[in-house]
Amino acid sequence: MQPWLLELLCCPVTGESLSLEMKRAEGDTILEGLLRSSSGREYFIGDGIPRLLPSAQVGLRTRESFGLQWQKKREGKMDSSRTCYGYDLEAQTDWICREILGEESGGGKLLLDAGCGIGDKGGPLSERGYRVVAFDLTDAVDGARERHGESDNLCFVQADALHPPFKKNRFDVALAIGSLHHTPDAHGGFRAIASLAKEKSRLGVWLYPKDRREVNPVLSKLYRIRDALPGLQRLPPRAIYA
């Protein structure tokens, strides 16, 4: 965690500002510590990542399911380090810059990446001059930090899109690409993320289309079978992965 991130953070339950009790740092990077609200709520910083979930039970099923998925991606069993669901990362970043952001580079603009997974959007965007805060509900943030590192331009946070631990009206750009449809309340997630962006800023949201065309035709057929049999979704995550 970089020191500048503290000014953006707040308690996900009360919205209060947070104070920092630092326990271990490496240069400017805070690796271990506690974040405390004035009402006494505490959140820990572990492995350089603030863990700001409102409770241990929030999104437990999603965390278990996607935690396994991102672990497999981390291990290179679902994608290479330079692809995301079969798409080349550089081409994906070009598309985001062209179609959503309307510019090739960020020039220091503050960007929020909501539901970042293992950082395949936020990481490359930080290399294009955006100052990126990327968060995810799952332990994928650990894989994201491992994969993309941390710099003055890039921080990762573990947080819930329905209770984002950020002060309102602070971000120049807010992205929620491929994430809000996985929440129990997509409309609520949209409102929560939109509230974090400044007035007249850019908000980029992408949801699964009804007609999904996967890059991999085999995966496309498997997804169609899975979607046609909703009972499959209730199987344990490892069975679904198999």
- What does each of the 242 residues of the chain score in pLDDT, given as a tens digit? 999 999 999 999 999 999 999 999 999 999 999 999 999 999 999 999 999 998 866 656 666 666 666 666 666 666 666 776 667 888 989 999 999 999 888 889 999 999 998 899 999 999 999 999 999 998 889 888 988 888 899 999 999 999 999 999 999 999 999 899 888 899 999 999 999 999 989 999 998 776 666 666 777 777 777 777 777 767 777 777 77
Q: Is 212 buried (19+), middle (13-18) or exposed (0-12) by CB count in 10 A?
A: exposed
Helices (H), the chain: 60-74, 89-95, 122-126, 140-148, 186-194, 217-228, 237-241
CA dist 211 and 138 (Å) reads 27
To the nearest 10 degrees (0 to 180), the angle between helices 60-74 and 140-148 is: 30
CA dist 84 and 93 (Å) reads 11
CA dist 32 and 18 (Å) reads 15
End-to-end CA distance of the chain: 35
pTM of the predicted structure, to 2 decimals: 0.84
Query: Which residues have CB under 8 Å from 126's CB, separation 6+?
Result: 132, 148, 151, 153, 154
